[in-house]
Amino acid sequence: MPTEYAERASRLPGAVLWTKGASPGGGGGGDDGDGGADGLVLPDGCMDLLWSEGRLLVAGPDTRAFRTGPGLRGPWAGVRFRPGAGPLLLGVPAYELRDRRVELADLLPAAEVRRLTGRIDAAPDPAVALEELALRLAAAARPEDPLVRAVAGALAAGRSVAATAEAVGLGARQLHRRSLAAFGYGPKTLARILRLQRALGLARAGVPLAETAARTGYADQAHLSRDVRELAGSRVTDLL
């Protein structure tokens, strides 16, 4: 396993397979990549299946940044599911895992999880073995709701909550209820988190912050900066 953070597209559609030499996370984009230092994992609307030697865990959807500590040694691997996909594979509504890291044995039979953990521990490449577990869970899960995919796609593209509700044919209360189960929070929170991720992607690509704010729907650069502080607990310049 590499000591730095690395990721690639998973064989599971829409998912990402990531590895980290020391600290775990619930998504990789904000990790600092330093094997011994604290890492910052930003909210991204996703859930992760996590492995470290002797352990299988699930990271629920975050509403705020999650900081990993230097005492959490690795290596670690994770499969980050696209927004809305995790609950189907794990059989639990997303809101029950919001801002939490839980043992997989809390969600699946303990004896089965012990067997799976041992198999991944012994694999030549535990990350690939973890990915295979995710593929098996997906094969056994019920089909993904196309409405959930449509909601996530619309909000990720920057559409308003009202426009998204109209596009999928749901009232505000129905959309909120479906979003809680699929994403862990309501559509307004998901839209805010996905907007933050879009903005950080542009800024990391070199787009000036004022232009980034305008292109992602913030009122101005100060609005972007406030949102970053509230969701990430850090200044945007520090994240970049």
Dump pLDDT digits (tens) for 10-26: 999 999 999 988 544 44
Look at residue 29 and tell me whether its pLDDT is greater than 50: no
**How far apart (Å, rounded) are the C-alpha atoms in residues 180 and 95?**
6
Per DSSP, what are the bridge partners of residue 101? 59
Q: Which structure tokens are listed for 43?
A: 């909210």
Pick the range with the lowest mean pLDDT from 28-37, 98-107, 222-231.
28-37
Q: Are 77 and 56 in contact (CB under 8 A)?
A: no
Per-residue model confidence (pLDDT) at position 73: 64
Higher-confidence residue of 224 and 69: namely 224
Query: Which band of pLDDT confidence, cut at 50, 70 and 90, is reported for residue 88?
Result: very high
pLDDT digits (tens, 9 = 90+) for 189-233: 999 999 999 999 999 999 999 999 999 999 999 999 999 999 998
Residue 8 tokens, joined: 């690639």
pLDDT of 27 above 60: no
| Least-confidence region, from 56-70, 77-91, 135-149, 156-170 | 56-70
Q: Would you state the pLDDT for residue 70?
A: 59
Among the listed residues 64, 7, 5, 67, the one whose alpha carbon sits nearest the alpha carbon of residue 40: 67
Is the N-terminal amide bond of 2 cis, ω within 30° of 0? no
In the chain, the percentage of residues whose pLDDT exceeds 70 is: 89
The pLDDT score that the predictor gives to residue 58 is: 97
Q: What rounded mean pLDDT belongs to the chain?
A: 89
In degrees, rounded to 5, the angle at the alpha carbon of residue 237 between the alpha carbons of residues 233 and 240 is 95
